[in-house]
Amino acid sequence: MRYRYLAIDAGGERVHGTLDAATTEELENRLARMGLDLVRERTGRFAAFAAWLGGMRSRRHTVSRRELLDFWFQLKELLRVGVPLQEALRDLYAAHTEKSGESMRRAIGALQEGIGAGQTLSQAMQAEPQGVFRPLFIHLAQAGEASGDLARVMEDMIAALKYEDDLLGKTQKLLIYPAFVSVVVLAASLFLFLYLAPQLKTFLRQMGETLPFYTRALFAVADVLGAYGLHLLAGMVLSALALRAWLSHSAAARLYRDGLLLRLPIVGAVLQKVALSRFAGAFALLYAAGIPVLAALAITREIVGNRAIRRALAQAEEAIREGSPLSTAFAGSGFFPVFVVRMLHVGENTGALDVALENLRYFYQRDVNLVVERAERLIEPLLTLLLGALLGWIMLAFLGPIYDAISHVAF
């Protein structure tokens, strides 16, 4: 049952929030483990519906990378100045309102509850019911607890999140302009094809002019869109839904799609570099934190984001489990670039695998940044040329015959 509650923390501050509990006693116990004293609670007439709606909202509104970055940064700073972990989490919980970050607030509350019940931070992260904290960060927290250097591990988490946030921002910036221009041009083109072209076609037929090829081609496209536009739209929608259903129910289809994406010209190379950058960064963090190689591979396999690369990592993991060296296992998969295999081989021979992994991470992060920046510089003029050609064809097809018709009118 979903309860809305009013509680008081150790400093006497009023705290409002919501929690799921079977009874009022369970709610009071959960709040006590979070360091809060229950003042009053209520469920409301439509508690069951509110709980269902809350569950739907929580699935739609997950915790963003920016929220996680802010959380780890603030927690690290509070721990650095000597604030106890439980008290730091209590302060962060109070700072998150339900409107500004309800999902993050619930996650912090779950951490408070777990630590209040005697769990470590990594155990509380793993038990958090929303799945906010990735396995990568859970294992890093375990390593930090084992080494007694949790603050340094948090700095690694923050660095990883900053890099992902920066890469996402660059990618969004790269896509926003083309998407906006494409939507505007598509809307204008549909208006010309569906509304203006039929009227112009009638006018030119009445003038008795012989139409050039490019105008006849434009009218043919307009006729097809006018006669079968709804059918084409319905077909595209149904095809998209069928493809989505196929991908959601078939692991082989998802694997084939991810492999196909990596084989696309230009785009495939960028996607592969992004995935390898994420792999090298996560693997370097885990290995430097003392996580065994097989465990580190199992964790990084889940975060690369591409199933074809995930399968190659699984094959490498199996070869290592059978006794092959790391570089030999990666070379045997036939998937990873020669540079990756060579760096791993050097790291094994010199006993400095952590340095080799760090170099791999630096190389691919720099390479991805350069590729994105280069694409950002090229995409605007290329898009301008493409859209200019499209609009030029449309305007020439419309205005050319009109100009010819007017030039033949005798005054």
pLDDT tens profile 265-318: 767 777 788 788 778 878 888 887 788 888 888 888 877 778 888 888 888 888
Looking at the fold, whether 196 and 110 belong to one and the same domain comes out as no
Looking at the fold, whether 9 and 98 belong to one and the same domain comes out as yes
pLDDT of residue 35: 66
pLDDT confidence band for 393 (50 / 70 / 90): confident
What CA–CA distance (Å, rounded) separates 155 from 370? Answer: 25
What CA–CA distance (Å, rounded) separates 284 from 410? Answer: 81
Per the domain annotation, does 89 fall within a domain? yes
Looking at the fold, whether 167 and 123 belong to one and the same domain comes out as no
Looking at the fold, whether 128 and 167 belong to one and the same domain comes out as no
Q: Which residues of 10-42 are buried (b: 16+ CB within 10 A; e: fewer)?
A: eeeeebebbbebeeeeebbbbbebbbbebeebe
Looking at the fold, whether 72 and 9 belong to one and the same domain comes out as yes
Report, as an integer, the average pLDDT of 21-47: 68
Own/partner long-range contacts of 262-266 (Cβ < 8 Å, ≥24 apart): 262/306, 262/308, 262/309
pTM for this prediction: 0.64
pLDDT of residue 356: 86
Contact assessment for residue 112 and residue 35, using Cβ atoms and an 8 Å cutoff: yes
Looking at the fold, whether 286 and 190 belong to one and the same domain comes out as yes
Count of structural domains within the chain? 2
Per the domain annotation, does 388 fall within a domain? yes
pLDDT of residue 309: 86
Looking at the fold, whether 187 and 313 belong to one and the same domain comes out as yes
Neighbour count for residue 258 (Cβ, 10 Å): 19
Per the domain annotation, does 80 fall within a domain? yes
Q: Enumerate residues 6+ apart whose C-beta is below 8 A from 87.
A: 10, 35
Q: At residue 222, does pLDDT exceed 50?
A: yes
Looking at the fold, whether 220 and 283 belong to one and the same domain comes out as yes
CATH of the domain at 237: 1.20.81.30
Per the domain annotation, does 33 fall within a domain? yes
Nearest C-alpha neighbor of 18 from the set 35, 33, 31 = 31
- Give the domain extent around 123: 2-133
Per the domain annotation, does 143 fall within a domain? no
Looking at the fold, whether 85 and 173 belong to one and the same domain comes out as no
What CA–CA distance (Å, rounded) separates 407 from 50? Answer: 71
Per the domain annotation, does 331 fall within a domain? yes
- Between 27-41, 101-115, 219-233, the lowest mean confidence (pLDDT) is in 27-41
What mean pLDDT value characterizes the chain? 78
Looking at the fold, whether 204 and 88 belong to one and the same domain comes out as no
Per the domain annotation, does 253 fall within a domain? yes
- Between 72-76, 100-104, 240-244, 389-393, the lowest mean confidence (pLDDT) is in 100-104
Per the domain annotation, does 156 fall within a domain? no
Looking at the fold, whether 77 and 169 belong to one and the same domain comes out as no
Looking at the fold, whether 397 and 275 belong to one and the same domain comes out as yes
pLDDT of residue 46: 44
